[in-house]
Amino acid sequence: MYRYVLKRLLLLIPIIVGVTFIVFFILDLTPGDPGRLLLGPLAPQEAVDRKNEELGYNNPFFTRYLSYMSGALRGDFGESYRTSQPVFSEILPRFPTTLTLAFLAVVASVAIGIPLGILSAVRQYSKLDTTATISAMFVASVPDFWLGLMLMLLFSLKLRLLPPDGIDSPLGYIMPTLALALPSSASILRLTRTTMLETIRQDYIRTAKAKGASEKSIIWKHALKIALLPIITVVGSQFGYLLGGSIVVETVFSVPGLGMLTVTAIKAKDMPQVMGAILFLAVLFVIIMLLVDLLYAFVDPRIKARYKA
């Protein structure tokens, strides 16, 4: 077990290097320069050139990338171009908001997706199954920002039940959570339905039925435990995705989280801030997937025995 965990932790190194290089390269391709964005369109070109030289933006690409990575290895992730503050001094205060939003979205997606997926599998080809499947296909294809705007139009402008933006009260979390949870729950619903259908057709399920076990006992005590394995993977990956995918939703609802900070940094071409946020999310995602793999051992005894071997 310990060797497996160590191996997965060592895999962090190439993943982090790859992610930082890709993000750094894409930011370098974007038009504009930080000097002009920071000083404004009316600033003289001499002042803009001095600002870019001060920030090291005029250096070659690989020189800037290697300089950033060498500083990151020493724990120095640079200072924000906009605020001149260490990047993590802005990331860490905003992260709890993003974490709370992602956690609420995962809980909501699981509470919606798994029960409906089980009911669709048990009542295959029924009206409930058809309605749930079609609704899941539709919701899964809807972009987060469009869904957020429609929720805002309905609950804020028409019904006036929820605040249109911000998280000044618990009610402010409802619409951003739904905008993130509904597409995620659609994926969980379809996967739960598929895995449950495969499981309830196994021989040991027929044997349990032949012995007189109730349908409720067969579904919840026998079939669901085996069907949970791929669902755990999807839920874990969805949680990691929601931490980064909340960028658009936070922008739509003006939620002061890590996503909104990243969007602001991208607009200002604040490379240290963007790199710090993306690096933080990448490491967090890999750790979440490692915890999901370890959780397998507690769900499936066969995997636990293989770890011990």
Task: Please indicate, yes or no, if residue 253 is contained in any of the structural domains.
Answer: yes
User: Are 140 and 215 contacting, i.e. CB atoms less than 8 angstroms apart?
Assistant: no
Task: Please indicate, yes or no, if residue 25 is contained in any of the structural domains.
Answer: no
Task: Please indicate, yes or no, if residue 128 is contained in any of the structural domains.
Answer: yes
Residue 158 CA, distance from chain mean position: 30
Task: Please indicate, yes or no, if residue 23 is contained in any of the structural domains.
Answer: no
Determine what percent of the chain falls in helix, strand and coil, rounding each to the nearest 5: 80, 0, 20
User: Are 128 and 291 contacting, i.e. CB atoms less than 8 angstroms apart?
Assistant: no
Instruction: Find the domain containing 147 and state its range.
Output: 94-308
pLDDT at position 306 is 62
Task: Please indicate, yes or no, if residue 141 is contained in any of the structural domains.
Answer: yes
- Per the structure, the count of domains in the chain is 1
DSSP 8-class letter at 257: S
User: Are 39 and 51 contacting, i.e. CB atoms less than 8 angstroms apart?
Assistant: yes
| Average pLDDT, consecutive stretches of 10 residues, N- to C-terminus, the chain (309 residues) | 72 83 87 80 86 84 88 85 86 90 92 90 87 89 87 90 84 90 90 86 78 76 75 82 80 87 85 88 83 71 60
Task: Please indicate, yes or no, if residue 256 is contained in any of the structural domains.
Answer: yes
CATH number of residue 290's parent domain: 1.10.3720.10
Q: What is the pTM of this model?
A: 0.81
pLDDT at position 300 is 64
Locus of tokens 């939620």: 255
Instruction: Give dist(CA 81, CA 268) in Å, integer.
Output: 8
